[in-house]
């Protein structure tokens, strides 16, 4: 089974993110879900973004990097939206990464290094009509990653919701979230047996 470090999205460590982590745990995986917001959870994306701007993207990424202290090197790094930043950074820069799961976001590989590390598989999940994912360049970064990395997959779901896998938020889409979970569990099963 795999060991996963899962980072929350811009609204914080919501009950939906914790529920996602619990579902992975029930499947036999070890999941760590650090709180990068120090207890703050926000009702809206705008409120969460205000906190991000006040705290700083760099500070939040470093909190994510600090979350690996005491954890083994052999981790799968996962993140929802904003949480993709520390997940992708760690997958690209920390030796021993077993994989990366990037939900609703992806940044260019050049953000954290010259290339994606060899033999580190990655899955990227987003909705094909999500303005945050499509219009802000994330889908382009995801497609470039898939083109350059043999073990990379991009899964697009029909719809325009951003945080569609968080069942505590209005953007939740049960059908897309269920399909994503099946794909994630398959990925983790392969990573855990590597």
Residue found by looking up tokens 């970064």 in the block: 141
Per-residue pLDDT of 81-94, as tens digits, reads 999 999 999 999 99
Query: Domain residue spans in the chain?
Result: 3-192
pLDDT 10s digits, 44-86: 999 999 999 999 999 999 999 999 999 999 999 999 999 999 9
Global pTM reads 0.96
Residue 123 has pLDDT above 70, yes or no: yes
CATH superfamily of the 3-192 domain: Alpha/Beta hydrolase fold, catalytic domain (3.40.50.1820)
List of E strands, the chain: 3-7, 30-32, 76-80, 99-103, 122-127, 152-157
191 pLDDT tier (thresholds 50, 70, 90): confident
């Amino acid at each position: 089974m795999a060991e996963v470090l899962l980072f929350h999205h811009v609204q914080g460590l919501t009950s939906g993110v914790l529920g996602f982590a619990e579902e992975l745990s029930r499947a036999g995986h070890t999941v760590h879900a650090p709180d990068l917001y120090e207890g703050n959870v926000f009702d809206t994306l705008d409120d969460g973004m205000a906190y991000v701007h006040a705290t700083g993207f760099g500070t939040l990424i470093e909190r994510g990097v600090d979350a690996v202290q005491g954890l083994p090197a052999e981790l799968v790094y996962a993140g929802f939206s904003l949480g993709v930043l520390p997940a992708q950074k760690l997958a690209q820069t920390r030796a021993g990464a077993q994989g990366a799961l990037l939900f609703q976001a992806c940044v260019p590989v050049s953000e954290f290094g010259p290339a994606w590390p060899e033999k580190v598989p990655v899955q990227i999940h987003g909705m094909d009509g999500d303005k945050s994912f499509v219009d802000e360049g994330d889908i382009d970064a995801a497609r470039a990653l898939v083109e350059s990395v043999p073990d990379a997959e991009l899964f697009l779901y029909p719809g325009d919701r951003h945080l569609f896998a968080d069942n505590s938020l209005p953007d939740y889409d049960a059908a897309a979230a269920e399909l994503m979970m099946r794909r994630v569990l398959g990925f983790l099963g392969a990573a855990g047996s590597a």
